[in-house]
C-alpha cells in the first residue's frame, strides 16, 4: 500500500509540474529574469503549493499517525545555520543557471529533455559528495 501511495503521490506531483509548465526550464528562468521579460506564473504555482502544504502540515501536526498507519514524523529543526544557508545558496545558484530544481528535473528527464540528464547527473554527484563528506566527518 505504501508503494502505491508513493507512486500515486509522485504521479500527481509530476502531472502538476507538467501542467503548470514548471518542468520547462525556460518558464522558471523567465520567472527569475526580473530585469527582462518577467513571467510571474511561477509565483502563482508557489502560492498554491504553499497553501496546500500549509493545510497538510496543519492536519499533520494534529495527529501522531499518518494516513497509512506509519508514525507521523515532522521536521523539528528550527535553526538557521551554515549548512542551511549554504545549501539554499547552492540550490538557488543551480536553479538560476539550469532552470531546474530536483522535482521538475526528474519529470523533465522522464520527458526526454537532454538538459535534465546533465542536471540530474550533477545533482546525484553532488549528493554523493555530500554523503561522502558526512561519512568522513562521522
Residue range 16-28, pLDDT digits in tens? 999 988 888 988 8
pLDDT at 88: 92
Residue range 57-94, pLDDT digits in tens? 999 999 999 888 889 999 888 899 998 999 899 889 98
Domain ranges of the chain: 2-137
What cell does 134 get? 558526512
Q: C-alpha distances in angstroms, 35 versus 29, 32, 104?
A: 12, 9, 24
Amino acid at each position: 500500500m505504501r508503494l502505491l501511495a508513493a507512486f500515486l503521490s509522485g504521479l500527481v506531483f509530476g502531472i502538476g509540474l507538467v501542467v503548470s509548465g514548471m518542468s520547462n526550464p525556460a518558464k522558471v528562468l523567465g520567472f527569475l529574469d526580473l530585469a527582462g521579460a518577467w513571467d510571474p506564473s511561477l509565483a502563482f504555482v508557489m502560492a498554491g503549493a504553499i497553501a496546500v502544504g500549509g493545510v497538510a502540515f496543519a492536519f499533520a501536526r494534529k495527529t501522531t499517525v499518518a494516513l497509512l498507519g506509519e508514525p507521523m514524523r515532522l521536521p523539528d529543526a528550527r535553526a538557521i545555520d551554515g549548512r542551511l544557508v549554504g545549501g539554499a545558496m547552492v540550490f538557488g545558484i543551480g536553479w538560476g543557471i539550469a532552470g531546474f530544481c530536483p522535482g521538475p528535473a526528474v519529470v523533465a528527464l522522464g520527458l526526454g529533455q537532454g538538459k535534465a540528464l546533465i542536471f540530474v547527473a550533477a545533482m546525484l554527484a553532488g549528493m554523493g559528495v555530500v554523503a561522502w563528506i558526512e561519512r568522513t566527518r562521522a
